[in-house]
Structure 1
Amino acid sequence: MNPSEKYDNYPFWIVLLSNLHSLLMYGLGFLVMLKLGLIPAIGYIVFVLILEIRIIKNHCVDCYYWGKICGFGKGKISALFFRKGDISKFCLHEMTWKNMIPDMLVSVTPIIAGVILLCIDFDIKYLIFIILIIALTTFGNGFIRGKLTCKFCKQREIGCSADKLFNKE
């Protein structure tokens, strides 16, 4: 597809790949946190679920892709649970790095926990988990967002505060 073309509904394979990426990251984070105990691991998953619900409830409702298949499939999910919002409100609030802290904690928390665990009792398995989380957070997110999703997003053309944050000139 020509990068100047935009998807009305993303192909299934992109939605699948972007969600497998997220689920793998969440799963690895859960496994690292599970080494600390069941309570921290469950707390981690609850935190991830809260963030996902927050996005679907507060952002997807105002997105062009509400009721459609966006690159992450969340537009369709949002339409199942929430009424359509106002597309003009999608980019109303400026996104800052401070706003990104909860999202960054999804990766940073298991990385820090994993490094501490490695210092206490080295285990190659957890080192691999940490390396994979870092790779998924950096290269994985860059590939998914840069090559598969944001590049073909109609909402990005209309106005996207995340695009403004990440692509400042």
Structure 2
Amino acid sequence: MNQQTIHEKYPARIIAITNLLSVLIYIAGAYIIYQLGLIWALIYIGYLLFLEIRLLSTGCPDCYYYGKLCAFGKGRLSSLFFKKGDPERFTCRTFTWKDLIPDFLVALIPVIIGLVILILDFSWLILLLMILLFFLSTTGNGIIRGQYACKFCKQAEIGCPALELFSRKKQP
């Protein structure tokens, strides 16, 4: 029987790949929005920071990987700023598609703005960035989570509401 390897501490290469994906999504989105002006790009970057801090402060402290290197490196980062939470709270949490709306907006807002920009003044660069943003946010995230993150995650084994949502089956 082929036993799946569970990472207690994710390898640096996986953390680098997962974070590179996020950074590329953020840069593509910020560049598209920057076409409206610096202030709009800064507001978007502020929104991204808000989402990252929200995750670090509300999700990571309750996760098995708090203080450890998860697939995204955020367990260790969270422990530098926030107190350890209750792991039981993580497994009991419910997670719905509605909870993902703020995360979907990271790509959706720049794509909508990009469409308006393309209508008003077509740009191949903006079109390519929109395609890249869409691909990274959908297929890229699916590959990262399916092949590098969730598949080797101890928290997924214990119980993860996000994994339940995406796999449509109840975890232990």
* Amino acid in structure 1 at the alignment position of 2:103: D
CA distance in 1 between partners of 2:57 and 2:13 (Å)? 24
1:38 corresponding residue in structure 2: 38
CA distance in 1, matches of 2:97, 2:143: 20
The unaligned stretches of length 5 or more in structure 1 are none
Give yes or no for contact 1:95–1:161 (8 Å, CA) kept in 2.
yes
Distance 1:3 1:77, change over 3 A: farther
SS in 2 for 1:5: coil
- The answer for the alignment partner of 1:61 in structure 2 is 61
CA drift of 1:92 comes to: 2.2
| CA separation of 1:48 and 1:3: change in aligned 2, threshold 3 A | farther
Equivalent position of 2:150 in the other structure: 150
Quick one: distance in 1 between partners of 2:136 and 2:83?
33
Q: Is the alpha carbon distance of 1:139 and 1:3 closer, same or farther for their aligned partners in structure 2, counting shifts above 3 Å? A: farther
Q: How many residues align?
A: 168
Q: Which residue of 2 aligns with 1:72?
A: 72
Q: Which residue does 1:28 correspond to in 2?
A: 28
The reply on whether 1:17 has 2:17 as its aligned counterpart is: yes
Scaled by the length of structure 1, the TM-score of the pair is: 0.97
What's the Cα RMSD here?
1.0
- Correspondence 1:19-168 to 2 at 5 A: 19-168=19-168
Please give the per-residue CA displacement for 1:118-160, whole angstroms capped at 9, x wherever unaligned.
Answer: 0010000000000000010111101100000000000001111
Mapped contact 1:114–1:126 kept (Cα < 8 A): yes
Within 2, Cα distance between the matches of 1:30 and 1:132?
13
* Conserved? CA contact 1:56–1:78, under 8 Å: yes
- For 1:79 and 1:93, the matched residues in 2 are separated by 20
For residues 102 and 95 of structure 2, the distance between their equivalents in structure 1, rounded to whole angstroms, comes to 13
Contact kept, 8 Å, 1:91 with 1:161, in 2: the verdict is: yes
Q: CA deviation at 1:3?
A: 6.3
* Counterpart amino acid of residue 36 in structure 2: L
Percent of residue pairs identical: 48
For structure 2, list consecutive stretches of 5 or more residues without a partner in the other structure: none
Q: Contact conserved, 1:118 with 1:126, CA < 8 A, in 2?
A: yes
- For 1:146, the aligned partner's letter is G
Contact 1:3 1:152 in 2 (8 A): no
Once the two structures are TM-superposed, the CA of residue 32 in structure 1 deviates from its matched residue by 0.2
Counterpart amino acid of residue 130 in structure 1: M
